[in-house]
C-alpha cells in the first residue's frame, strides 16, 4: 500500500492525499505553482447584536475581517449600542424594536455622516432583511 498523508481543504474536511496535493499547496510542486486557498467572505445577520452573545459574535467577526462581514443587525432597544455598532460595522440594514427608536437611530446616523444603512423597526412590519443574500444567520438562544 502506498504511503499517504492527510490534506485539509479550506472547509477542514480531511481528504486522503498521495502527497501531490500537499506539495502543490506548499509550493514544492514541479510546476513551481503554489496554490493559495482563501476563505470566502461570509455575510452575517446578527440578531440580538447588543446582547452578550451578539457582542461576542461581533468580537469574533472583528478577529477575522477577511472571513466575515456584518450585513445586518437586529438591536432591540439599546439605541446607544446600536449606534456604535452601526458606525463600526456599516451594515446595510439595522432593525430596532420600535418606530421611535428607529427614527432616533436614523437621525443620529445622519448626524454622524453614516449613509447606506437602512433602519427598520418592529417584528410584524415587512422587512427587507430576507432580500439581502446571506449564507449565515446568527441568533442567540432564547
Structural domains for the chain? 1-37 (no CATH), 42-138 (3.40.50.720)
Mean of pLDDT values over 20-39: 51
More confident residue, 29 or 87: 87
Query: Where residue 124 falls among pLDDT bands split at 50, 70, 90?
Result: low
Angstrom CA distances, 103 to 9, 99, 110, stand at 46, 6, 11
Q: Measured on CA atoms in the order 14, 19, 23, 24, is the torsion positive or negative?
A: negative
Residue 125 CA to residue 38 CA, distance in Å, equals 38
Query: Where residue 96 falls among pLDDT bands split at 50, 70, 90?
Result: very high
pLDDT reported for residue 41 = 87
The reported pTM is 0.64
What mean pLDDT value characterizes the chain?
76
Residue 55 CA to residue 61 CA, distance in Å, equals 10
Closest CA to 101 of 82, 126, 124, 127: 82
Amino acid at each position: 500500500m502506498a504511503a499517504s498523508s492527510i490534506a485539509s481543504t479550506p472547509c477542514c474536511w480531511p481528504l486522503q492525499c498521495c502527497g501531490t496535493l500537499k506539495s502543490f499547496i506548499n509550493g514544492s510542486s514541479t510546476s513551481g505553482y503554489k496554490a493559495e486557498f482563501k476563505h470566502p467572505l461570509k455575510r452575517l445577520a446578527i440578531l440580538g447584536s447588543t446582547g452578550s452573545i451578539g457582542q461576542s459574535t461581533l468580537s469574533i467577526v472583528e478577529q477575522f475581517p477577511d472571513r466575515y462581514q456584518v450585513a445586518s443587525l437586529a438591536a432591540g432597544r439599546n439605541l446607544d449600542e446600536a449606534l456604535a455598532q452601526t458606525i463600526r460595522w456599516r451594515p446595510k440594514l439595522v432593525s430596532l424594536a420600535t418606530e421611535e427608536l428607529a427614527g432616533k437611530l436614523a437621525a443620529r446616523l445622519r448626524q454622524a455622516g453614516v449613509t447606506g444603512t437602512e433602519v427598520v423597526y418592529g417584528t410584524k412590519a415587512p422587512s427587507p432583511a430576507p432580500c439581502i443574500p446571506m449564507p449565515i444567520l446568527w441568533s442567540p438562544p432564547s
